[in-house]
Structure formats: structure tokens, C-alpha cells
Amino acid sequence: MIPTTYPDQSEIARLTARMLLEIGAVNFNTDAPYTLASGLPSPSYIDCRKLISFPRIRATLMDFLTITILRNAGFEAFDNIAGGETAGIPFAALVAERMALPMTYVRKKPKGYGRNARIEGAMSEGERVLLVEDLTTDGGSKLSFVDAIRETGATCGHTAVIFYYDIFPETTKTLGDHGVDLHYLCTWWDVLAEARAQQAFSGETLAEVESFLRDPRAWQAARTRG
């Protein structure tokens, strides 16, 4: 069922942050920072994959994501919903169900046998495809998925995520230069504000996390010198 009326975007962002905190998807550790896929340190880590195990929160957030897409991109803007391997697959399926559209998924690379395809499911030339993922950091990983979709002859001008880091200024430019608009529910700034409101972490931890969010490159450089 397609949701048609929900809170405004600021309230959706606050509630999304609250739900991520409630299930323990938000991790802050300033004493022993996490290592990102890039190999660089970070005092913050988000695990959106946990959402699939919480039915009430999962359903609410998928309603939020669907209405955000419809509000921002249009009610008849898409023909196919594609999930990125692997984290995007369950969320793409849930959005596709709400929008009554076909669902496909995009492999990170061909599996090396059979059809050796990156697209699983039925995707046709000329279809307007929405790429759904769990989150985006700098936007770079989305480009390979978008290119794989476009290689089928379909178009892909939008990607939707639950969580957007919103700390790397190049993200929207990277996607925009590739002809892709980004839609999202909340950012680190929303999570930080809600964590402060709930006093979910110590003041010292939140201050250090904010220092990272305001200048992540400098924060990382200071901890990787030598």
C-alpha cells in the first residue's frame, strides 16, 4: 500500500534518528575509533542493516522512505526499483512492494558464471529505475550501480537511502555530475541532535563526534600521522 500522508521532512528526520538510536544502530566510540572501509578512523559508525530485524521500525521507515521518494521525485516517476548488493536488497524489496513496482538488484560485480550478469531480475530498456541503498557516505559507491543499470538501456537518475552522512561536501556534486539526485531520511546531524536530546552518550563523546563531523578529513589526519 502506498502511503500518502506523513510528517514533514524535519520530523521524519528526527524520528528516523530516534529509531536508529533505539535499536543500537548508532555507535560512537572516541577512545577506540572504528576503521572505515577506506582504512581511515572514525568515532562514529552506523549499522542500518540492523533495521531488518525490527518489524515496527522497519515498516515505519520504509513508509517514510516511500513517501519521501514520492514527494521529491513524483508519484509516477519510476518503473523499477533496484537494490544495491547486499544492504540495499531488502529495502528495495520493501519499497517496491509499497509502490507496486517490479524489483531487481544490482551485483557489485558479475558472479563469473551463468549469464555473468550484474542485474538480477527483469529490467528493460527505457525503464526508469530508482536505486535503493541503506546509506551513502561520499556517493562514490553508487556510481558503479548506476552505470550497471544504465548499461541495460534503462535510465537511473535517482537514488534513495535511509541514512546520508552529510559530512563530505563532494557527495552531492559527485552524484549530480553523474546525473543522479539523492533522497534520504536523516543525517549524522539529525542523529547528533537526537542523541543530545536523549542524553544517549556522554557530553565528552558527543563533543568529540561533533569535532569529527565538522571536519572529518582533519580529524582523521590528526590520528593517522606518523
For 57-69, write each residue's pLDDT tens digit: 999 999 999 999 9
Q: What is the DSSP letter of 180?
A: -
DSSP letter, residue 153: T
Query: Coil, strand or helix: which one is 163?
Result: strand
Contact 138/171 with Cβ under 8 angstroms?
A: yes
Is the pLDDT score of 88 beyond 60? yes
**For position 5, what pLDDT does the model report?**
72
Lowest mean pLDDT among 1-10, 20-29, 65-74, 94-103: 1-10
Distance (Å, rounded) from C-alpha 117 to C-alpha 73?
28
User: 203-214 vs 188-198: helix axis angle to the nearest 10?
Assistant: 170
Q: Where are the domains of the chain?
A: 9-224
189, exposed or middle or buried, with CB in 10 Å at 0-12, 13-18, 19+? Answer: middle
pTM, 2 dp? 0.93
Query: What pLDDT band is residue 87 in, cutting at 50, 70 and 90?
Result: very high
Question: What is the band of 36 on the pLDDT scale with cuts at 50, 70, 90?
Answer: confident
CATH class of 9-224: alpha beta
Question: What pLDDT shows up at residue 49?
Answer: 95
pLDDT at 147 over 90: yes
Residue 90 is predicted with a pLDDT of 98
Mean pLDDT over 12-17 rounds to 98
> Which among 52, 73, 26, 58 is positioned nearest to 189, based on CA atoms?
26
